[in-house]
Amino acid sequence: MVTYEQSLDQRGLLVVLTGPSGVGKNSIIDALREEDPRFFHSVSMTTRQPRKGEHNGIAYHFTTKDRFEELTRRGDILEYDTYCGEYYGTPSAPIDRMIQDNIDVLLDLTVNGALELKRKCPNAIIIFITASTEEALRDRLLARGTESEEAIESRLATAREELGRINLFDYWVINDVIADTASDIRAIVKAEKRRVSRFFVDECTL
């Protein structure tokens, strides 16, 4: 039987942003958190070495391979992926706490990470962010000026390949003007809190 009580929303949402390198995910997260500081940005854990200027707990939680593998065995890593031989993953505990406290959690994950999370938590929203065209993405990567032309072409090839898997995602948001992108994502979060399936699908256990 359906009761009115079921319509009351008391849990936070897991909101995953995925998209090619250079598409502007960090700026989008900053814009969302500036407007609503209650958005919690989950910081990933990695086994790679910190780069110059990277502080532990800000860009990443840095850890060792042994520790990462131990956490994974204990089921304390929600999702993880490997890149260049290093682990990148999401620790479960802080996210679980936020969700229970009705705080929405933003995660920045790879395509595989996003899909793995969605399998575990069907209530998570996975959003694919792209530029408006491949040329726009190329321009952004060039503007960053941190990579060789070859590295940029390789990133564009990856982006092209990943776009082919967009049909596995829930939403496709174009990042052209940051304010519009943030407004789209806020609307998505607001709408998802009224989705009927959300009131009837079992929660995931993190």
Least distance CB 35 / a copy of itself (angstroms)? 14
Give yes or no for residue 196 binding a copy of itself (CB under 8 A): yes
Token pair for 56: 């532990």
Near a copy of itself by CB under 8 A: residue from 79, 104, 108, 184: 184
Give yes or no for residue 186 binding a copy of itself (CB under 8 A): yes
The residue count for binding a copy of itself (CB under 8 A) is 32
Near a copy of itself by CB under 8 A: residue from 14, 29, 171, 182: 171
Residue 92 near residue 98, CB atoms below 8 Å:
no
**Helix axes of 149-163 and 134-144: crossing angle, nearest 10 degrees:** 140
Stretch that binds a copy of itself, among 58-66, 90-98, 112-120, 168-176 (CB under 8 A): 168-176
CB atoms near residue 4 (< 10 Å): 6
Q: Which is nearer to a copy of itself, 21 or 183 (CB)?
A: 183
Token pair for 140: 């952004």
Q: Within 108-137, which residues bind a copy of itself (CB under 8 A)? A: 128, 130, 132-134
User: In Å, how far from its chain's centre is CA 174?
Assistant: 15
Give the three-state DSSP class for 142.
helix
Q: Which is nearer to a copy of itself, 188 or 204 (CB)?
A: 188
Stretch that binds a copy of itself, among 20-28, 35-43, 104-112, 186-194 (CB under 8 A): 186-194
Token pair for 60: 């990443």
Give yes or no for residue 157 binding a copy of itself (CB under 8 A): no
Distances (CA, A) of 145 to 138, 141, 152: 11, 7, 10
Give yes or no for residue 177 binding a copy of itself (CB under 8 A): no
CB atoms near residue 198 (< 10 Å): 17
Helix or strand holding residue 108 (H, E): strand 105-108
DSSP structural state of residue 29? H
For tokens 């995925």, what's the residue? Answer: 18
Stretch that binds a copy of itself, among 37-45, 69-77, 109-117, 181-189 (CB under 8 A): 181-189
Q: In the complex, which residues of this chain contact a copy of itself (CB under 8 A)? A: 1-2, 4, 7, 128, 130, 132-134, 163-164, 166-167, 169-174, 183-184, 186-188, 190-192, 194-196, 199-200
